[in-house]
Amino acid sequence: MSKKTDAAAIPVGKLTPEGAEAELVRLAAAITRADEAYYKNDRPEISDAEYDVLRRRNLLIEKRFPKLKRKDSPTDKVGAAPSTKFKKSKHAIPMLSLDNAFNDEDVVEFDKRVRRFLGLGEDEPVHYTAEPKIDGLSLNLRYDQGVLRVAATRGDGQTGENVTGNALTVDDIPQVIKDAPDVLEVRGEIYMSHEDFEALNARLDAEGEDQFANPRNAAAGSLRQLDAAITASRPLKFFAYTWGELSEPLAETQWYAIRRLKKFGFKVNALTKVCKSVDEMLAQYRKIEAERAKLGYDIDGVVYKVDRLDLQERLGFVSRHPRWATAHKFPAEKATTILEEIDIQVGRTGKLTPVARLTPVTVGGVVVSNATLHNADYIEEKDIRAGDTVVIQRAGDVIPQVVEVVSDKRRKGARKFKFPETCPVCGSHAVNEVNPSSGKADVDRRCTGGLVCAAQAVERLKHFVSRQTFDIEGLGEKQIASFFEQGIIKEPADIFTLRRRQEKGDIDLYAYKKKANGDLALKDGKPVPTNTKSVQNLFDAIEQKRSIASPRFINALGIRHVGETNARLFASHYGGFDGFYAAAVKARDETSAAYQDMLSIDGVGALVARGVIDFFDEAHNREAVDRLLKEVTPEVVESISSSSSVAGKTVVFTGTLETMTRDEAKARAQSLGAKVSGSVSAKTDYVVAGPGAGSKLKKAEELGLTVLTEAEWAKLVKA
């Protein structure tokens, strides 16, 4: 496919509005897929560096075409659902991730964003703290009356895993604090030093146990042990750097709040510094980067935070990260190796992904043997061939990417890779789909086999039981693949009939004891199963999932372009799965009110709508869903419950606001449960008009909508 027809290959500055819209859809799908692979399945498909590039391109396009910005951006997500192995602990205040900066210009822009939001000029002082970004596991410690009561991991940002017993074994975590506020939540990072990591791996090797790939994995794996005695035997450390719920403020600035945490007995990073300008921030970044190799623990960047806590409160949060902080990431690590072969893998959506099989090489302390090659255009653009010496890049514990070919080391007669036009699994045609919004072909090639393709079927089932969907304990990827191969599970509904079929004798999930001569061990003339408990535990885990939140149910179906974010949008808009299902069937007719209503959902464009319609247009998909609904009940989505007078209302801001910036006004409205829209329609409840309001005000008056001044709006939201 020609790169000229691919919006992904066009620089942001040269994109047309039509191309930008298509590219934002592609980026949303790519980011969502990457999030699912990393957070849900623990099987990352792209490197941190490539993931950051996707997010950065998305941000640049949104800046250039602000009217096309997707409010449901997949970047507005944090972490993954907590494991069912631990009790859950809901965070009083969400644990969010950080926005990223990748170069000096990004840091300058971060400072400008802060000033624009606050309405401050370039000469007005804004101080920041700069501290190392620890590469470990985030932990929230709750103290009531000075006593540690709950320790919880980040989880999905809203709910984490309760690991209190394990945290009590970590020397750096005080169990009792003197002179602490009645309620104090301390947040920081569990990590392991390089020296301790090497010693732990040496011990595990001597004991014949599997070793950890890197210190971060070792720290996370050690804290998330069901046996606290194992955690106690591991050399874990903890840095404190922020807080959650408080009964009283710790200080007036970030710097003095951190000093107070130190007085409470927590270890804080000595490299933290207050910076009075962007130049000082960048100088501290370079100082920390220069000392990185000597620190004795892993860091992957520097975090900048607005120092004044009252300004932090004004800046607030977007759904995924605070506006008052950003992480300035270090460059990715690289290595050189041989690309031995190029294989094709088929994913659950039919995407054919080329994968480089490498001569194993160590990059940043981790041995890697696979790298993503993305798509046919990527291979062609970089002229990648089997046998080439290549430079690979990774950042974090993920599959790396091939960034360039060492051309002067290419062997003679090396042939170009020919991307297959048929699926290597089922033999169906592989095509580049056309985007209905732009009329242009997608960069990715996909198998047209659908459910007749075994690769897609098994990958869809893996997705169905992954963490952010049904999350069935004991039914992971290996079990799904095995059950599928045996014909025990062919579609989602089969999962929920396992117990009935086992009891009827239609299937047999047990493994059996054998005698020394290989014969089955018998008791009362019947074989003796070895894993009765594990099978019964699986059945019990499945029973617990017969009722599930509608967003998870929708996401689990694996509909093209519908991931976690869009699933939440659909569930919210239609009040649950039943309304969504009915609307999707009616929306087949693009002239129907149902189709137009689906497109009216902020963040759902023609491409997403077409994915939904195409899915439910297939009789076999509807039949599979109907069979599943006989086993599972998606929960109804309750309407917004809030004491705010504007909860659930749609608001449009227009004109110049005088007491706060537009961003502050939107953020405040959303925090009260209102929906902020960029356009006026008959569904708009309030139009807040300031000086200079134009066409939006005129349309509101024509429709007879409620128009408020800024003062009237302020009075309404305080009522």
Q: Is the model more confident about 660 or about 684?
A: 684
- Whether residue 4 is predicted with pLDDT greater than 50 in this model: the reply is no
- Looking up tokens 């965070």 gives 91
- Whether residue 81 is predicted with pLDDT greater than 50 in this model: the reply is no
Mean pLDDT of 231-250: 94
pLDDT at 140: 96
State the pLDDT confidence band at 638, using cuts at 50, 70 and 90.
Answer: low
Mean pLDDT of 91-105: 89
State the pLDDT confidence band at 513, using cuts at 50, 70 and 90.
Answer: confident
- Whether residue 88 is predicted with pLDDT greater than 60 in this model: the reply is yes
Lowest pLDDT segment from 142-156, 351-365, 584-598:
351-365
pLDDT at 494: 95
* All domains in the chain, ordered by first residue: 3-77+332-409 (2.40.50.140), 88-318 (3.30.470.30), 456-496+546-638 (1.10.150.20), 650-718 (3.40.50.10190)
For residue 318, the SS3 value is: coil
State the pLDDT confidence band at 669, using cuts at 50, 70 and 90.
Answer: confident
State the pLDDT confidence band at 399, using cuts at 50, 70 and 90.
Answer: low
> What does pTM read for this prediction?
0.51
Rounded to the nearest angstrom, the gap between the alpha carbon of residue 340 and the centroid of all alpha carbons in its chain is 32
Segment holding 153, helix H or strand E: strand 147-153
Mean pLDDT, the chain, rounded, equals 85
- Burial category of 630 from C-beta neighbours within 10 Å (exposed 0-12, middle 13-18, buried 19 and up): exposed
Instruction: Give the 3-state secondary structure of 50-79.
Output: HHHHHHHHHHHHHHHCHHHCCCCCCCCCCC
pLDDT at 2: 37
**Nearest-10 crossing angle of helices 577-586, 564-574:** 90
- Strand 183-191 to 137-144 pairing: antiparallel
- Whether residue 78 is predicted with pLDDT greater than 60 in this model: the reply is no
Q: Residue 360 to residues 47, 99, 338, 339, 342: CA-CA distances in angstroms?
A: 17, 33, 8, 10, 15
Per-residue pLDDT tens for 440-466?
777 888 887 665 688 888 888 999 998
- Whether residue 398 is predicted with pLDDT greater than 80 in this model: the reply is no
State the pLDDT confidence band at 253, using cuts at 50, 70 and 90.
Answer: very high
* pLDDT > 90 fraction of the chain, expressed in percent and rounded: 37
Rounded to the nearest angstrom, the gap between the alpha carbon of residue 488 and the centroid of all alpha carbons in its chain is 31
pLDDT at 167: 92
Set 4, 40, 67, 133: catalytic member: 133
State the pLDDT confidence band at 181, using cuts at 50, 70 and 90.
Answer: very high
Per-residue pLDDT tens for 125-135?
999 999 999 98
Q: Is the model more confident about 77 or about 119?
A: 119
pLDDT at 1: 35
Mean pLDDT of 373-401: 84
User: What would the two tokens of residue 560 be?
Assistant: 């093209």
State the pLDDT confidence band at 397, using cuts at 50, 70 and 90.
Answer: very low
- Whether residue 681 is predicted with pLDDT greater than 90 in this model: the reply is no
pLDDT at 3: 38
Lowest pLDDT segment from 168-172, 384-388, 657-661:
657-661
Q: Residue 490 to residues 56, 154, 349, 554: CA-CA distances in angstroms?
A: 39, 34, 16, 19
Mean pLDDT of 684-699: 88
pLDDT at 384: 95
Q: Residue 81 to residues 6, 84, 90: CA-CA distances in angstroms?
A: 35, 9, 11
Mean pLDDT of 512-526: 72
pLDDT at 110: 96
State the pLDDT confidence band at 436, using cuts at 50, 70 and 90.
Answer: low
Strand partners, 347: none
Per-residue pLDDT tens for 619-636?
888 888 999 999 999 998
pLDDT at 82: 46
pLDDT at 642: 59
What's the farthest any 2 CA atoms get from each other in the chain?
90
The total of other beta-carbon atoms located within 10 Å of residue 255's CB is 18
Asked if residue 394 lies in contact with residue 331, where contact means CB atoms within 8 angstroms, the answer is no
Per-residue pLDDT tens for 465-493?
988 899 898 888 888 988 988 899 999 99
Alpha helices in 532-644 (DSSP H): 532-543, 550-556, 564-574, 577-586, 593-599, 606-617, 619-629
* pLDDT > 70 fraction of the chain, expressed in percent and rounded: 90
Question: Is 63 an annotated catalytic residue?
Answer: no
State the pLDDT confidence band at 117, using cuts at 50, 70 and 90.
Answer: very high
Per-residue pLDDT tens for 328-348?
998 777 888 999 999 999 887
pLDDT at 554: 95
- Whether residue 431 is predicted with pLDDT greater than 90 in this model: the reply is no
**25: Cβ–Cβ under 8 A, 6 or more apart, which residues?**
435, 437, 561, 605, 607, 608
State the pLDDT confidence band at 565, using cuts at 50, 70 and 90.
Answer: confident
Q: Round to whole Å and give the CA distance between 198 and 211.
A: 10
